[in-house]
Amino acid sequence: MAPNARLDHRNPLVFDTHELGRRPGALQRLSRTVDAPKDLGLQGVVGVPEGAPVELELRLESVMEGVLVTGTARAQAEGECVRCLEPLQLDVEAEFQEMFSYPDADERGRVTADPDDDAEDDEDRLFLEDGLFDLEPVLRDAVVLALPMQPVCQDDCPGLCSECGARLADDPDHHHDAVDIRWAALQGLAGSLEDGEKDEMSGADAEAGVDEKQEK
């Protein structure tokens, strides 16, 4: 895999490992609050709005083949309840761990770490570039994993009324009388009878014709 596109140390999601050094075992802890990048979450379902604060706590550990990054991200996500469609907010806490390898230590590090490592795994590897690494793809994967695929406003959200679409949590006693529906049907029938008998036959013929076509 080619190194990432040139990293910009001014990007808040790009971290510098120079201070950590390359002595295996060296540790560094970092806290940083960054603006959420675009599309941080499950698109169209729930996610952290672009620009919202994301609190990062990172632990950088220098190892033979690179820098092992372990961390936590905390943010508030926004979405919509899948049952009642009300807007909702939820706290996300995402944990992650990722190895950023030294490009020049690639071969040696790989052999030491796992002799059976294959090319497929290699493509997923992330590399340090001039001692910098980009946390964004790691953060994105971790946040997506931490978010619910089916967010609900409350665990027992009863959803919407199938008859009229009212939000049942707002109106627990909500119901429709079956009698009302029958009356409505009768009233509809009475209305169509009033339309006149001469239309009735032609209407029935037309319907039968449509039915035949659909069956073929």
CA 131 to centroid of chain Cα atoms = 31
- As a whole number of angstroms, the distance between CA 158 and CA 69 comes to 42
Query: One-letter amino acid identity for 88?
Result: L
> Which of 164/201 has CB closer to Zn ion?
164
Indicate whether 161 belongs to the interface with Zn ion (CB under 5 A). Answer: yes
Indicate whether 178 belongs to the interface with Zn ion (CB under 5 A). Answer: no
Looking at 163, 170, 195, 205, which residue binds Zn ion (CB under 5 A)?
Answer: 163
- As a whole number of angstroms, the distance between CA 11 and CA 71 comes to 18
Query: Smallest distance from the beta carbon of 176 to Zn ion, in angstroms?
Result: 6
Query: One-letter amino acid identity for 160?
Result: L
Indicate whether 145 belongs to the interface with Zn ion (CB under 5 A). Answer: no
Indicate whether 153 belongs to the interface with Zn ion (CB under 5 A). Answer: yes
Query: Smallest distance from the beta carbon of 84 to Zn ion, in angstroms?
Result: 3
Query: Smallest distance from the beta carbon of 103 to Zn ion, in angstroms?
Result: 49
Segment lying near Zn ion (by CB under 5 A), choices 10-18, 32-40, 115-123, 155-163: 155-163
3-state secondary structure of 206: helix
83-122 residues in contact with Zn ion (CB under 5 A) are 83-84
Number of C-beta neighbours around residue 68 at 10 A? 16
Looking at 48, 73, 81, 99, which residue binds Zn ion (CB under 5 A)?
Answer: 81
| Burial classification of residue 100, based on how many CB atoms lie within 10 Å of its CB (0-12 exposed, 13-18 middle, 19 or more buried) | buried
Query: Smallest distance from the beta carbon of 182 to Zn ion, in angstroms?
Result: 16
3-state secondary structure of 178: helix
Indicate whether 166 belongs to the interface with Zn ion (CB under 5 A). Answer: yes
SS3 percent helix, strand, coil of the chain, rounded to 5, is: 30, 30, 40
Which stretches of the chain bind Zn ion, using CB under 5 A?
Answer: 81, 83-84, 153, 157, 161, 163-164, 166
